[in-house]
């Protein structure tokens, strides 16, 4: 863990991406999965005539909530407390993990069942609980696959997207003792094996840990949306429920959910509505958990809020639409980003939560094509934030005693472009050099500082005569004006 986020910088994106690009099976798995989700999303979004108006409303709601976040959080705390719940405030990952571990130990239990949660992945809760002798059982199918394989999630919504059916069957057969000996790789058979494996844990567990998609300030209602029903089991059967939620997930009123519950399923899985939407308000006698704790997690979010450009990343509703349309993500997968938040949203969220210096390469992990902005249901201008963070990273290097190769090249370019005569000489030298190193009209890999660019790209040999020289030669009458 680094600066409150697990896996950060292990290794940096350029090295991890280079390794991932060589994995052809990974690229096939990702291409098929993201393509399927992308096509479904486009079909169901096109069914709504007011889709763009919904996106505008969601963006406005998120921005307004972030502007008044302290007020809404205090209102949420009062509402949850009035409904019989207990609210805890965690400044960082260490404090959140300590709070959850102490709450579990206070029940006398040594195991918990978990609903899929990005916040608990972000803080490394499973590992922290294990250090305290508490076993956390992931109950989401994809999270279960990842946990059994000692793997890392590679997608916000589909954590095991990098695995195909045959790989999952082998994981179940080798790591799940109660898996049938004749288990096939048919989806129905795999889901049935996981269901039977988890059922006993659902019935036995006394404590559950969840994240939250939304929390309503005016009522204290907390919501979890999911597709498998495992969340419903975790949220209703155990005696104690502990929810860890990022502070940006609060919405002011119950009516605001009308907007987000239309946008989220269509953007996430291409469904018209979530199969399971669970909402609870505090505790009720003989109905669900008798004890409810809500842990409000900061972990870099307040610092992000101070950046007027970067704060829009906190509007993310974790739908993953930006991942599924990103040409970079589709080729390198989620592990290359070194964070639980991969893809375009991870490239702007991770550096802000951890500090740009701890994830310096991520803002550059994008082509700036803008597909993520077009797909985002809450209109987060990801390209704008990427450029903003890139500028921060470049500015941070300006004060270095030893200049980088890039900065030296930029200074040289400034001097050349400031003088027509120097530009003419540079073009002449470039044409001569290109003819010396080029083969068949192309320039291949170059040595020294140019190899990073030229190793993976061929360049055309510069023309023997520049446009300026050609113009002066063919239009002599213009030269005297």
Contact 380, 66 (CB under 8 A): no
- Which one has a higher pLDDT value, 29 or 10? 29
317/295 Cα distance (integer angstroms)? 18
SS3 262: helix
Residues 29-36, mean pLDDT to the nearest whole number: 91
Helix pair 69-82, 51-67: axis angle to 10 deg: 90
Give the Cβ contact number of residue 472 at 10 Å.
14
- What is the mean predicted confidence (pLDDT) over 237-253? 98
pLDDT for 444 beyond 90: no
User: Do 173 and 148 contact (CB within 8 A), yes or no?
Assistant: no
Domain of 425 in residue numbering reads as: 420-474
Structural contact between residues 251 and 65, judged by C-beta atoms closer than 8 angstroms: yes
Question: In the chain, what percentage of residues exceed pLDDT 90?
Answer: 74
Rounded mean pLDDT, 367-387? 97
Write the pLDDT tens digit of every residue in 307-362.
999 999 999 999 999 999 999 999 999 999 999 999 999 999 999 999 887 888 99
**Lowest mean pLDDT across 75-89, 146-160, 293-307, 403-417:** 403-417
Q: Of the ranges 10-14, 337-341, 411-415, which one carries the lowest mean pLDDT score?
A: 10-14
Please report where in the chains the tokens 């308000």 appear, as a residue: 281
Residue 288 lies in a domain: no
327, 367 contact by CB (below 8 A): yes
> Which pLDDT score is estimated for 266?
97
Task: Output the DSSP codes for 299-320.
Answer: TTHHHHHT-TTGGGGGG-----
Total tally of structural domains belonging to the chain: 1
Asked if residue 165 belongs to a domain, the reply is no
Q: Would 274 be classed as within a structural domain? A: no
Q: Which of 69, 134, 70 is nearest to 97 (CA)?
A: 134
Task: Note whether residue 438 is domain-resident.
Answer: yes
Asked if the model's pLDDT at residue 91 lies above 70, the reply is: yes
In this predicted structure, what is the pLDDT of residue 9? 58
Run of H or E residues at 328: helix 327-332
Instruction: Answer yes or no: is 182 within a domain.
Output: no
The token pair at 193 is 């094996």
Q: Does a structural domain hold residue 465?
A: yes
The pTM of this model reads 0.86
Is residue 414 one of the residues assigned to a domain?
no
Per-residue pLDDT, averaged over 157-176, amounts to 93
For 120-130, write each residue's pLDDT tens digit.
999 999 999 99
Contact criterion met (CB below 8 Å) for 441 and 461: yes
Which H/E stretch holds residue 351? Answer: helix 343-354
Residue 239, token pair as written in the block: 């005696």
pLDDT digits (tens, 9 = 90+) for 284-306: 998 999 999 999 999 999 999 99
pLDDT(6) > 90? no
Q: Which position has the higher pLDDT, 238 or 3?
A: 238
Domain annotation covers residue 8: no
């Amino acid at each position: 863990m680094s600066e409150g986020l697990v896996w950060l910088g292990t290794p940096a994106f350029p090295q991890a991406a280079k390794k991932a690009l060589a994995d052809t099976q990974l690229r096939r798995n990702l291409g098929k999965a993201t393509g399927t989700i992308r096509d479904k999303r486009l079909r169901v979004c096109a069914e709504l005539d007011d889709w763009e108006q919904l996106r505008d409303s969601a963006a406005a709601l998120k921005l307004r909530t972030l502007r008044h976040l302290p007020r809404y959080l205090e209102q949420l705390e009062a509402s949850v407390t009035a409904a019989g719940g207990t609210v805890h405030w965690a400044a960082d990952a260490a404090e959140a993990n300590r709070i959850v571990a102490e709450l579990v130990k206070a029940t006398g239990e040594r195991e918990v069942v978990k609903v899929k949660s990005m916040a608990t992945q972000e803080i490394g809760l499973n590992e922290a609980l294990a250090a305290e002798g508490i076993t956390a059982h992931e109950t989401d199918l994809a999270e279960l696959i990842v946990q059994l394989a000692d793997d890392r999630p590679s997608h916000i919504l589909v954590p095991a997207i990098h695995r195909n059916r045959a790989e999952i069957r082998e994981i179940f057969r080798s790591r799940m003792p109660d898996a049938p000996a004749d288990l096939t790789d048919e989806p129905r058979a795999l889901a049935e094996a996981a269901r039977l494996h988890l059922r006993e844990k659902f019935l036995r567990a006394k404590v559950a840990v969840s994240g939250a998609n939304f929390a309503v300030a005016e009522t204290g209602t907390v919501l979890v949306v999911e597709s498998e029903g495992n969340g419903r089991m975790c949220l209703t059967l155990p005696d104690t429920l502990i929810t860890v939620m990022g502070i940006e997930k609060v919405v002011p009123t119950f009516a605001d959910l009308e907007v987000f519950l239309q946008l989220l399923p269509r953007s996430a899985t291409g469904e018209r509505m979530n199969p399971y939407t669970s909402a609870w308000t505090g505790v009720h006698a003989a109905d669900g958990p008798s004890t409810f704790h809500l842990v409000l997690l900061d972990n870099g979010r307040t610092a992000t809020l101070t950046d007027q450009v970067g704060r829009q990343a906190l509007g993310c509703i974790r739908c993953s639409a930006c991942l599924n349309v990103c040409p970079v993500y589709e080729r390198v997968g989620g592990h290359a980003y070194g964070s639980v938040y991969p893809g375009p949203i991870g490239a702007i969220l991770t550096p802000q939560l951890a500090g740009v210096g701890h994830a310096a390469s991520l803002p550059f992990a994008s082509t700036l094509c803008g597909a993520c902005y077009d797909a985002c249901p809450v209109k987060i201008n990801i390209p704008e934030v990427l450029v903003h963070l890139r500028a921060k990273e470049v500015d941070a290097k300006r004060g270095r005693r030893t200049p980088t190769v890039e900065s030296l090249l930029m200074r040289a370019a400034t001097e050349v472009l400031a003088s027509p005569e120097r530009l003419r000489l540079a073009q002449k030298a470039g044409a001569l050099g290109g003819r010396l190193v080029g083969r068949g009209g192309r320039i291949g890999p170059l040595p020294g500082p140019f190899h990073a660019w030229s190793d993976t790209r061929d360049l055309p040999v510069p023309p023997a005569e520049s446009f300026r020289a050609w113009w002066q030669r063919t239009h002599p009458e213009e030269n005297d004006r």
